[in-house]
C-alpha cells in the first residue's frame, strides 16, 4: 500500500524517526533503566519495538493497558503506575502468569490490591505534582502496612509531571533534583529495589531513579519539541485538503483539511501544519492559511501538540518510510490498548 491509498485522517509513524528515538533513549537508559510508558502510544506492536531495543519492563496507566500488554506476550514486568479501587482484573492477569506491580498511595488502594489478587506494589509518593501519591513522610508506614497485609513492596515511584515541559533545561534539572530528593527520602523509609519515575522531559536530569517511565520520546509532539527535547517528530496525522477559499480583497485565503477535534488531543492547543498558520479546529476540520496555498485533494501532515490523547483517538497507525504519495506503508499497527 502507498501513502496515497490511505483513508484520511490517518496516523503516520515515520519508521526512521521512531527507530532513532528508540535507539537514542536506549543508549541513555539501557535495558531495565527504562520502563517505557505505553500510555503515550497505546500500541503493543510499538511496545514490541521497545522490547527489541532492550526494555522488558513497561509502565501502564490503565487496567486495559496492563491486560493488553500481557495478552500480547509483553507481560514480563508491568507496572500500573496509577491507583485503582478494584484490582480484580489485574489479579486475573497475575493469575494468568504475567508480572504486575501496582501503585498504591492509601489504605483503600492497598486493600484493593490485596482483595484483587495483586501481590506486588510500589508506594506512590507525591513529590510535587498535585495528583496521586502519599506524602513522603507517610510512605514508610504505608509500606509497613502493605507488607503486614502480605504484599511485596518493590520500592517507590514518584512522577515530576509538572516539570516535563519546562523550557529552561537548567531549571528543569534543578527542580527535578528537588523532587527526587523527596522520593529518595521516602525510599529510605520504604526500602525495596525499585525507584521509578521521570519522563521524557526529565529523563536526562533524573539520576535518582533506578528506572525512567518515559513514553512520549518514541513519537514526540510539538510541546516536547518546544521544550527542547532532542527526539525526532515521528508521528503526524495525514489529512486531505477538502476545501480552499482564495483571498478576496483584504481578506486572506484559507484551506480546510479533514482532521479536527476528533483526530487531535487539544489540551495543549492546536496542532501545527509546517509552513502554515493554523486558525482553528472543528470536529472534523482544520482551518489553516498556508504560505503556499494548497489545492483541494492535496495532503498535509499535521503535527500533534500532545501525543498521548491524539493516539487515543485513532484505531491504527501506519508505519511509513518517506513522505511522498508513493511512499510505501511498511506496516499497520492497531492502537490496541485504548479504552478502560
Q: For binding to a copy of itself (CB under 8 A), which residues are involved? A: 7-10, 39, 61-63, 82-86, 105-106, 108-109, 126, 130-133, 135, 161, 240, 242-245, 248, 254, 256, 258, 261-262, 265-267, 279, 281-285, 287, 295-297, 306, 308-309, 312-315, 338-340
Complex with a copy of itself: residue 53 or 133, whichever CB lies closer = 133
| C-alpha span between 37 and 59 (Å, rounded) | 4
Q: What is the DSSP string of 296-312?
A: TT-EEEEBPS-HHHHHT
Residue 340 beta carbon to a copy of itself: minimum distance, rounded to whole angstroms: 6
Secondary structure (3-state) at 330: strand
Residue 182 beta carbon to a copy of itself: minimum distance, rounded to whole angstroms: 14
**Alpha helix stretches (DSSP H) within the chain:** 15-28, 44-52, 63-71, 88-95, 107-116, 136-148, 169-190, 222-226, 307-311
Complex with a copy of itself: residue 231 or 264, whichever CB lies closer = 264
Residue 5 beta carbon to a copy of itself: minimum distance, rounded to whole angstroms: 10
| C-alpha span between 188 and 276 (Å, rounded) | 52
Complex with a copy of itself: residue 250 or 340, whichever CB lies closer = 340
Residue 309 beta carbon to a copy of itself: minimum distance, rounded to whole angstroms: 4
Residue 243 beta carbon to a copy of itself: minimum distance, rounded to whole angstroms: 4
**DSSP letter, residue 270:** -
Complex with a copy of itself: residue 169 or 312, whichever CB lies closer = 312
CB 101 within 8 A of CB 127: no
CB 337 within 8 A of CB 68: yes
Complex with a copy of itself: residue 53 or 164, whichever CB lies closer = 164
Residue 248 beta carbon to a copy of itself: minimum distance, rounded to whole angstroms: 7
Tell me whether the omega of the peptide bond preceding residue 337 falls within 30 degrees of 0, making it cis.
no
Complex with a copy of itself: residue 207 or 282, whichever CB lies closer = 282
The residues with which 13 forms a beta bridge, in sequence order, are 235, 319
Residue 213 beta carbon to a copy of itself: minimum distance, rounded to whole angstroms: 12
Complex with a copy of itself: residue 53 or 182, whichever CB lies closer = 182
Residue 179 beta carbon to a copy of itself: minimum distance, rounded to whole angstroms: 16
Question: Long-range contacts for 268-276 (Cβ within 8 Å, ≥24 apart)?
Answer: 268/221, 268/222, 268/223, 268/305, 268/306, 269/305, 270/305, 271/222, 271/237, 271/302, 271/303, 271/304, 271/305, 271/310, 272/222, 272/302, 272/303, 272/305, 273/300, 273/302, 273/303, 274/301, 274/303, 276/300
Complex with a copy of itself: residue 26 or 101, whichever CB lies closer = 101
Amino acid at each position: 500500500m502507498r501513502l496515497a491509498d490511505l483513508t484520511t485522517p490517518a496516523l503516520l509513524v515515520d519508521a526512521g524517526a521512531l527507530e532513532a528515538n528508540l535507539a537514542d533513549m536506549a543508549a541513555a537508559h539501557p535495558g531495565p533503566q527504562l520502563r517505557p510508558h505505553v500510555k503515550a502510544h497505546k500500541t503493543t506492536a510499538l511496545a514490541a519495538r521497545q522490547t527489541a531495543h532492550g526494555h522488558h519492563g513497561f509502565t501502564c496507566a490503565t487496567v486495559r493497558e496492563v491486560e493488553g500488554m500481557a495478552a500480547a506476550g509483553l507481560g514480563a514486568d508491568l507496572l500500573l503506575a496509577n491507583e485503582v479501587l478494584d484490582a480484580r482484573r489485574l489479579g486475573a492477569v497475575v493469575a494468568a502468569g504475567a508480572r504486575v506491580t501496582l501503585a498504591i498511595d492509601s489504605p483503600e488502594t492497598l486493600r484493593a490490591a490485596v482483595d484483587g489478587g495483586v501481590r506486588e506494589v510500589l508506594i506512590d509518593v507525591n513529590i510535587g505534582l498535585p495528583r496521586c501519591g502519599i506524602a513522603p513522610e507517610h510512605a514508610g508506614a504505608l509500606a509497613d502496612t502493605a507488607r503486614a497485609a502480605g504484599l511485596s513492596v518493590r520500592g517507590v515511584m514518584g512522577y515530576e509531571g509538572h516539570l516535563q515541559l519546562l523550557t529552561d533545561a537548567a531549571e528543569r534539572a534543578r527542580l527535578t533534583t528537588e523532587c527526587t530528593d523527596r522520593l529518595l527520602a521516602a525510599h529510605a523509609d520504604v526500602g525495596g529495589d525499585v525507584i521509578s519515575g521521570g519522563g521524557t522531559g526529565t529523563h536526562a536530569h533524573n539520576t535518582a531513579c533506578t528506572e525512567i517511565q518515559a513514553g512520549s520520546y518514541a513519537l514526540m509532539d510539538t510541546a516536547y519539541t518546544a521544550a527542547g527535547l532532542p527526539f525526532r517528530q515521528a508521528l503526524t496525522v495525514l489529512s486531505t485538503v477538502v476545501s480552499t477559499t482564495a483571498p478576496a480583497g483584504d481578506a486572506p485565503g484559507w484551506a480546510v483539511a479533514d482532521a479536527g477535534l476528533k483526530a487531535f488531543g487539544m489540551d495543549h492547543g492546536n496542532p501545527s501544519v509546517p509552513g502554515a498558520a493554523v486558525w482553528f479546529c472543528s470536529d472534523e476540520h482544520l482551518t489553516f492559511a498556508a504560505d503556499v496555498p494548497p489545492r483541494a485533494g492535496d495532503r498535509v501532515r499535521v503535527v500533534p501538540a500532545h501525543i498521548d490523547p491524539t493516539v487515543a483517538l485513532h484505531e491504527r497507525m501506519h508505519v511509513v518510510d518517506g513522505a511522498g504519495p508513493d511512499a510505501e506503508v511498511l506496516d499497520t499497527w492497531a492502537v490496541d490498548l485504548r479504552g478502560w
